[in-house]
Chain A
Amino acid sequence: MKVERVAWTFVAPALAVIGLFFVLPVIAALLLSLTDFDLYALADTSNLRFTGLRNYIDTLHTPLFWEALANTLYFVGVGVPLSMLVSLGTALLLDSKLARFKGFFRTALFAPVVTTVVAVAVIWRYLFNTQYGLVNYALTSLGFGAIDWLGDANWSMPTIILFAVWKNFGYNMIILLAGLQAIPGELYEAARIDGASAWQRLRHVTLPMLAPTLLLVAIITVAGYFQLFAEPYVMTRGGPLRSTTSVLYYMYEEGFRWWNLGRASAIAFLLFALILAVTAGLLRFARGSRAA
């Protein structure tokens, strides 16, 4: 009985914070998304009206939302597989028996993860500068033409994808490395005795054993990449020609630039629903391919 009371005093502060400043706002956001909360309501709440699903319907009829969605899907669709491929590649290299100075390489490859997005985005903006950037210097030295990375609507998103991969691959690399190290060595030995080549061992031993970790990593990465915001905010301000306006960037502009907080909440819920749907799809795909 006494323990029970103490237990509640232990959990109460944390639960109060999470309840008041996360759970409650989430519920409030759902209600807010059903109102026309805007600049006038911000000044005087008597201007607030219940509008039902209006915000959702209006959002779905806004071309800019679909543009932002297409940009976000482009970023997720190309960025996540690329990011996972780089993570897997570096994790395999670090796991190799032939690798030397593993501790150093692991730390160095991980370093971008702990850096501040805003600061490193500033670096990349300069690296990819059309006139003075190192990247274009390298390209022109190799005989290619210079590319207007951040100024050309066709190249802006690929540049941001490259940036995101560089910034984030180390994180998944560490998780995949832990997964690789958990695979029993006897499995490789047995495959070797059966005459399996390195490629066959990778395909038939490593990847199947790593599948649960890969699924976990895929889900975390997809959820994270859907929340693209700081990169376009610093590097391109959503441009050029809105080519890097993400759903979250659109939500930020609606909510905190134009103060349409009701509309912004609806956009947030649409994004949440999308993340849930894609995650559920990934899980179902994983279950299906395991059954097959």
Chain B
Amino acid sequence: MSWRQSSQGASRWLVNGALIGATALTLAPLAWMLSVSFMTRGEAAAFPPPLVPTRPTLANYVELFTVLGVGRHLVNSLLLAGAVTALSLLFNLAAGYAFAKLRFAGRDALFRGLLGALVIPLQVAMMPLFLMMKSLGLVNTYWGVIVPSLASVFGVFLVRQYARSIPDELIEAARIDGAGEWRIFFSIVLPLLRPIIATLAILTFLTCWNDFMWPLIVLSGDAQQTMPVALASLSREHVQDNELMMAGAVVTVLPVLLLFLALQRHYLQGLMLGGVKG
């Protein structure tokens, strides 16, 4: 009896100890990033590496925003992620709802085709897409990033899965009452889809904010560059300026990390619902 109890106590220590250890290892790089970003220039280039700044300073952040003009890239990222999120929500919601609830010829075959497209890596399309954007004059404009992201197979799929749970009777009853299809969509369906709207909005915003390869290709001009692309090129020039680059990393990561912390319930739910892709 007492052996069982003490063995359970030991397992409890083991499980929680392992969790604390794993969490510490996971968060340590982020905590260190924050700490080093407040150090004075050159302070971090010492051995042993300092863990906390001796005289905390905001100088790195000031230099980022004044000398290096990072504010512009931050605004670019915010604008792009915001626009893509708002517009693609509209496109994906309408299509996802129609695939789930409205009958039309060829619906199921079309949907299967869309799902099939999910296996193709995005990079396959990149070379022709770049040529298309170039001939449309959209290279080095915000539209070069926005237009291809206006709808996504994954978004349509996620909305459809959720919209299937809306009872047909509800929509049918509204039709009998004489409501038009648009009215049904805006005043009955959308309110019911609210949870998935939240989920998809966060997923889209984060994906767009963190996206690297396509913005790197289509926005080569400095003025339009997003925060991650700007940080990548800064970090190639300022290899030795650890403190400055850590501040840059904080500025890049903090918006999405805060967004995730504020809305994590919706995010994690969506992940389990979709079961695929981020």
- A interface vs B, CB < 8 Å? 2-4, 6-8, 10-11, 13-15, 17-18, 21-26, 28-29, 32, 89-90, 93-94, 96, 98-100, 105-120, 122-127, 129, 131-134, 137, 141, 166, 170-171, 174-175, 178, 216, 220, 223, 226-227, 229-230, 233-234, 237, 248, 251-252, 255-256, 261, 264-265, 268-269, 271-272, 275-276, 279
Contact = CB atoms under 8 A, between A and B. Distances in A.
Contacts of A23: 117
B23 A109 contact: yes
Q: Is the interface of A mostly helix, strand, loop or mixed?
A: helix
Given A6-B182, A14-B92, A137-B47, A234 B232 contact: yes
A137 B48 contact: yes
Q: Is the interface of B mostly helix, strand, loop or mixed?
A: helix
Contact of B103 (A4, A123, A129): A4
Nearest to A271: B121
Contacts of A125: 235
Contact of A123 (B129, B228, B249): B249
Given A4-B104, A21-B132, A268 B126 contact: yes
B256 A114 contact: yes
Given A119-B249, A127-B32, A99 B16 contact: yes
Given A114-B256, A122-B235, A123-B29, A174 B124 contact: no
12 contacts: A6-B102, A8-B104, A13-B95, A25-B126, A32-B127, A114-B267, A115-B256, A122-B246, A131-B47, A175-B271, A255-B126, A268-B127
A106 B23 CA distance: 9
B125 interface: yes
A11 B98 contact: yes
A271 B99 CA distance: 31
B275 A4 contact: no
Contacts of B206: 114
A223 B118 CA distance: 11
B148 interface: yes
